[in-house]
Amino acid sequence: MYFDEPTTKEKLILNLHSVKGIKFGEFKLKSGIISPYYFDLRSLVYYPSLLDLTADVFWKELQLLNFDVVVGVPYTGIPIASAIGLKHNRPMVIVRKEAKDYGTKKLIEGDYHTGQKAVIVDDVITNGESKIETITKLEEVGLTVEDIVVLIDREQGGIELIREKKYNCIAIFTLSQVFEILLLHKRISKEVVDSCMAFNKDSRNKLLESN
Protein backbone atom coordinates (compact mmCIF):
# COMPACT_ATOMS: atom_id res chain seq x y z
CA MET A 1 0.00 0.00 0.00
CA TYR A 2 1.41 3.39 -1.01
CA PHE A 3 0.17 6.87 -0.16
CA ASP A 4 1.32 10.27 -1.48
CA GLU A 5 1.58 11.47 2.12
CA PRO A 6 1.76 8.27 4.20
CA THR A 7 2.71 9.88 7.50
CA THR A 8 -0.01 12.51 7.43
CA LYS A 9 -2.73 10.17 6.21
CA GLU A 10 -1.89 7.38 8.61
CA LYS A 11 -1.81 9.89 11.46
CA LEU A 12 -5.32 11.02 10.57
CA ILE A 13 -6.75 7.48 10.71
CA LEU A 14 -4.93 6.66 13.95
CA ASN A 15 -6.13 9.88 15.56
CA LEU A 16 -9.71 9.25 14.45
CA HIS A 17 -9.53 5.83 16.06
CA SER A 18 -8.08 7.32 19.26
CA VAL A 19 -11.00 9.74 19.66
CA LYS A 20 -13.51 6.98 18.82
CA GLY A 21 -14.33 8.37 15.40
CA ILE A 22 -13.78 4.77 14.22
CA LYS A 23 -15.43 2.21 16.51
CA PHE A 24 -15.66 -1.56 16.65
CA GLY A 25 -18.38 -3.62 18.33
CA GLU A 26 -22.07 -3.91 17.49
CA PHE A 27 -23.84 -0.90 16.03
CA LYS A 28 -27.36 -0.63 14.68
CA LEU A 29 -27.36 1.21 11.36
CA LYS A 30 -30.13 3.35 9.86
CA SER A 31 -31.15 0.34 7.79
CA GLY A 32 -31.70 -1.67 10.97
CA ILE A 33 -28.86 -4.12 10.40
CA ILE A 34 -26.09 -4.63 12.97
CA SER A 35 -22.59 -3.58 11.85
CA PRO A 36 -19.30 -4.67 13.51
CA TYR A 37 -17.82 -1.22 12.90
CA TYR A 38 -19.05 2.37 12.87
CA PHE A 39 -17.70 5.72 11.65
CA ASP A 40 -18.71 8.58 13.94
CA LEU A 41 -16.79 11.42 12.35
CA ARG A 42 -18.97 14.08 13.91
CA SER A 43 -16.32 13.96 16.64
CA LEU A 44 -14.07 15.98 14.32
CA VAL A 45 -15.72 19.19 15.54
CA TYR A 46 -14.62 18.43 19.11
CA TYR A 47 -10.92 18.39 18.17
CA PRO A 48 -9.75 21.49 16.25
CA SER A 49 -6.30 20.06 15.50
CA LEU A 50 -7.87 16.90 14.07
CA LEU A 51 -10.27 18.92 11.92
CA ASP A 52 -7.29 20.96 10.72
CA LEU A 53 -5.44 17.76 9.79
CA THR A 54 -8.55 16.51 7.95
CA ALA A 55 -8.65 19.73 5.93
CA ASP A 56 -4.99 19.23 4.95
CA VAL A 57 -5.65 15.69 3.76
CA PHE A 58 -8.67 16.83 1.72
CA TRP A 59 -6.71 19.68 0.18
CA LYS A 60 -4.21 17.26 -1.35
CA GLU A 61 -7.08 16.10 -3.58
CA LEU A 62 -9.01 19.36 -3.92
CA GLN A 63 -6.06 21.40 -5.17
CA LEU A 64 -6.03 19.25 -8.31
CA LEU A 65 -9.66 20.08 -9.12
CA ASN A 66 -11.33 23.08 -10.74
CA PHE A 67 -14.04 24.61 -8.54
CA ASP A 68 -15.40 27.93 -7.27
CA VAL A 69 -17.18 26.99 -4.05
CA VAL A 70 -16.92 24.19 -1.47
CA VAL A 71 -20.07 22.43 -0.30
CA GLY A 72 -20.22 20.16 2.75
CA VAL A 73 -22.94 17.51 2.86
CA PRO A 74 -25.00 17.92 6.07
CA TYR A 75 -23.99 17.40 8.70
CA THR A 76 -20.41 16.17 9.06
CA GLY A 77 -19.33 17.55 5.71
CA ILE A 78 -20.12 21.11 6.82
CA PRO A 79 -17.30 21.56 9.39
CA ILE A 80 -14.90 19.87 6.95
CA ALA A 81 -15.88 22.36 4.23
CA SER A 82 -15.57 25.24 6.73
CA ALA A 83 -12.05 24.21 7.71
CA ILE A 84 -11.01 23.91 4.07
CA GLY A 85 -12.48 27.30 3.24
CA LEU A 86 -10.76 29.01 6.16
CA LYS A 87 -7.34 27.50 5.43
CA HIS A 88 -7.40 28.09 1.68
CA ASN A 89 -9.64 31.14 1.30
CA ARG A 90 -12.33 29.32 -0.66
CA PRO A 91 -15.99 30.39 -0.38
CA MET A 92 -18.43 27.92 1.11
CA VAL A 93 -22.05 27.17 0.29
CA ILE A 94 -24.37 25.42 2.74
CA VAL A 95 -27.19 23.15 1.59
CA ARG A 96 -29.89 22.75 4.21
CA LYS A 97 -31.70 19.46 4.63
CA GLU A 98 -34.91 21.48 4.42
CA ALA A 99 -35.73 25.15 3.92
CA LYS A 100 -36.47 27.30 6.97
CA ASP A 101 -40.03 28.55 7.32
CA TYR A 102 -38.78 31.91 8.63
CA GLY A 103 -36.14 34.51 7.78
CA THR A 104 -34.85 34.20 4.21
CA LYS A 105 -36.39 30.71 3.85
CA LYS A 106 -33.43 29.70 1.69
CA LEU A 107 -32.49 26.09 1.05
CA ILE A 108 -29.03 27.11 -0.23
CA GLU A 109 -27.01 29.58 1.82
CA GLY A 110 -23.92 31.44 0.60
CA ASP A 111 -22.53 33.88 -1.94
CA TYR A 112 -22.74 32.13 -5.32
CA HIS A 113 -24.04 32.68 -8.82
CA THR A 114 -25.32 30.62 -11.73
CA GLY A 115 -22.67 28.71 -13.62
CA GLN A 116 -20.16 28.42 -10.79
CA LYS A 117 -18.63 25.02 -10.08
CA ALA A 118 -19.22 23.45 -6.70
CA VAL A 119 -17.11 20.65 -5.25
CA ILE A 120 -18.83 18.48 -2.65
CA VAL A 121 -17.01 17.14 0.40
CA ASP A 122 -18.20 14.60 2.97
CA ASP A 123 -16.91 12.17 5.58
CA VAL A 124 -18.05 8.79 4.23
CA ILE A 125 -19.95 7.32 1.31
CA THR A 126 -22.17 4.25 1.56
CA ASN A 127 -24.88 4.20 -1.11
CA GLY A 128 -24.36 7.74 -2.38
CA GLU A 129 -27.93 8.91 -1.73
CA SER A 130 -27.05 12.00 0.35
CA LYS A 131 -24.53 13.10 -2.29
CA ILE A 132 -27.09 12.82 -5.09
CA GLU A 133 -29.63 14.76 -3.01
CA THR A 134 -27.08 17.52 -2.46
CA ILE A 135 -26.12 17.63 -6.15
CA THR A 136 -29.78 17.92 -7.16
CA LYS A 137 -30.37 20.90 -4.86
CA LEU A 138 -27.23 22.67 -6.12
CA GLU A 139 -28.09 22.14 -9.76
CA GLU A 140 -31.61 23.48 -9.18
CA VAL A 141 -30.12 26.90 -8.29
CA GLY A 142 -27.75 26.96 -11.27
CA LEU A 143 -24.53 25.63 -9.74
CA THR A 144 -22.69 22.89 -11.59
CA VAL A 145 -21.14 19.83 -9.96
CA GLU A 146 -18.43 17.65 -11.43
CA ASP A 147 -16.50 16.38 -8.40
CA ILE A 148 -17.27 14.82 -5.01
CA VAL A 149 -14.47 14.09 -2.52
CA VAL A 150 -15.09 11.88 0.51
CA LEU A 151 -12.77 10.84 3.30
CA ILE A 152 -13.76 7.15 3.43
CA ASP A 153 -15.44 4.87 0.91
CA ARG A 154 -17.23 2.08 2.77
CA GLU A 155 -16.85 0.01 -0.41
CA GLN A 156 -20.56 -0.75 -0.56
CA GLY A 157 -21.16 0.45 -4.09
CA GLY A 158 -21.85 4.15 -3.54
CA ILE A 159 -18.93 5.46 -5.60
CA GLU A 160 -19.80 3.21 -8.52
CA LEU A 161 -23.43 4.35 -8.47
CA ILE A 162 -22.41 8.04 -8.46
CA ARG A 163 -19.95 7.49 -11.30
CA GLU A 164 -22.73 5.86 -13.31
CA LYS A 165 -24.48 9.24 -13.10
CA LYS A 166 -21.39 10.81 -14.72
CA TYR A 167 -19.96 12.52 -11.63
CA ASN A 168 -16.34 12.13 -10.55
CA CYS A 169 -16.18 10.72 -7.02
CA ILE A 170 -12.85 10.50 -5.20
CA ALA A 171 -12.27 8.63 -1.93
CA ILE A 172 -9.18 9.55 0.09
CA PHE A 173 -9.36 6.17 1.84
CA THR A 174 -11.17 2.94 1.10
CA LEU A 175 -12.49 0.92 4.00
CA SER A 176 -9.84 -1.71 3.29
CA GLN A 177 -7.08 0.89 3.60
CA VAL A 178 -8.46 2.16 6.92
CA PHE A 179 -8.44 -1.37 8.35
CA GLU A 180 -4.98 -2.03 6.93
CA ILE A 181 -3.58 1.05 8.70
CA LEU A 182 -5.19 0.10 12.00
CA LEU A 183 -3.96 -3.47 11.66
CA LEU A 184 -0.45 -2.33 10.78
CA HIS A 185 -0.30 -0.21 13.93
CA LYS A 186 -1.81 -2.99 16.06
CA ARG A 187 -4.99 -1.09 16.86
CA ILE A 188 -7.16 -4.03 15.78
CA SER A 189 -6.69 -7.74 15.13
CA LYS A 190 -6.88 -9.66 11.86
CA GLU A 191 -9.98 -11.41 13.21
CA VAL A 192 -11.73 -8.05 13.56
CA VAL A 193 -10.70 -7.07 10.03
CA ASP A 194 -11.96 -10.34 8.60
CA SER A 195 -15.29 -9.97 10.40
CA CYS A 196 -15.75 -6.40 9.18
CA MET A 197 -14.87 -7.21 5.59
CA ALA A 198 -17.21 -10.22 5.54
CA PHE A 199 -20.02 -8.00 6.78
CA ASN A 200 -19.13 -5.36 4.22
CA LYS A 201 -19.14 -7.81 1.32
CA ASP A 202 -22.60 -9.06 2.28
CA SER A 203 -23.93 -5.49 2.68
CA ARG A 204 -22.48 -4.42 -0.67
CA ASN A 205 -24.11 -7.34 -2.48
CA LYS A 206 -27.50 -6.47 -0.96
CA LEU A 207 -27.11 -2.80 -1.89
CA LEU A 208 -26.19 -3.52 -5.50
CA GLU A 209 -29.00 -6.06 -5.83
CA SER A 210 -31.53 -3.45 -4.70
CA ASN A 211 -30.47 -0.93 -7.38
Note the CATH number of domain 6-209.
Answer: 3.40.50.2020
What was the pLDDT predicted at 199? 92
Residue 6 has pLDDT above 70, yes or no: no
The neighbouring-strand residues paired with 27 are 35
**In the predicted model, is pLDDT for residue 4 greater than 60?**
no
Q: Where are the domains of the chain?
A: 6-209
In angstroms, the CA 175 to CA 196 distance is 10
Q: Each residue of 131-188: pLDDT tens digit?
A: 999 999 999 999 999 999 999 999 988 899 999 999 999 999 999 999 999 999 999 9
What pLDDT is stored for residue 3 in this prediction?
44
Residue 171's φ and ψ, nearest 5 degrees, are -110, 130
Among 72, 69, 77, 80, which residue's Cα sits nearest to residue 118?
A: 69
Contacts of 204 (CB under 8 A, 6+ apart): 155, 156, 157
Phi/psi at 22 (5° precision) = -125, 120
Q: Taking 70 as the threshold, does the pLDDT of residue 209 lie above it? A: no
**Predicted pLDDT at 2:** 43
**Residues 21-43: what's their mean pLDDT?**
89
pLDDT digits (tens, 9 = 90+) for 130-145: 999 999 999 999 999 9
Confidence band (pLDDT; 50, 70, 90) for 210?
A: low
**pLDDT(72) > 80:** yes
Q: What gap in Å lies between CA 71 and CA 98, rounded to an integer?
A: 16
Among residues of the chain, what percentage have pLDDT more than 70? 90
The answer to whether residue 124 scores a pLDDT higher than 60 is yes
pTM, 2 dp: 0.91
